Amino acid sequence: MHVTTDANAPWLIVGLGNPGPEYAANRHNVGFMVADLLAERIGGRFKRAGKAQAQVVEGRIGPPGPGNRRVVLAKPMSYMNLSGGPVNALKDFYKVPVANIVAIHDELDIDYGVLRLKLGGGDNGHNGLKSMTKVMGPEYHRVRFGIGRPPGRMQVADFVLKDFSSAERKELDYFVDRAADAVECLVIEGLERAQSTYNS
């Protein structure tokens, strides 16, 4: 499905995660990690966003000139399963079309570190996506960051709320960097180019 986007409308790039230091290094918080790196790249610091329960950074992604895009980076501060409310409030405040929203999230059904970019689709049991889709419909972009399935009989809820393993942490910075590149490519060059480059 091809969605035309308004070239002048900003993009809302949402890293999904849970607020608070106890969750910071969890697998479920990889969306926050990618958003933090993108904020660093545009030279911004996250600040509380008015009445919306979120932290935001405003800036531009891309080369100087007509090729760059106005972006709002966001981290909902509502806990994962309530992400839709803050994202919807930001969408309305910044006048962002749903097709210009990108959710960055952990994905159980993909091997660790593998990326998949797509537009629309189901939530695959992910509570952050479920909450966003409930309030806005499913037609937003997703950057799915593979975390793999839990080992043995570990419950999914326990697995996603655990920190990345020491073996995984050795490559985590590289994978987060690559995911940030993929978001930039999606926003500047479009979904098809980003998919052909980053969907492994």
Helix (H, G, I), strand (E, B) or coil at 149: coil
Q: Which of 27, 53, 25, 57 is nearest to 40 (CA)?
A: 57
Q: Are 17 and 29 in contact (CB under 8 A)?
A: yes
Provide the terminal-to-terminal Cα distance of the chain, rounded to the nearest Å: 21
User: What is the token pair recorded at 118?
Assistant: 């797509």
Cβ burial 79-98 (10 Å sphere, 16+ → b, else e) = bbeebbbbbbbbbeebebbb
CA pair distance 112, 115, nearest whole angstrom? 9
Which of these is catalytic: 28, 105, 126, 141? 28
Active site residue 141: no
Q: Cα Rg for the chain, rounded, in angstroms?
A: 16
Q: Are 147 and 171 in contact (CB under 8 A)?
A: no
CA pair distance 179, 191, nearest whole angstrom? 14
DSSP letter (8 states) at residue 109: T
Annotated catalytic residues are 28
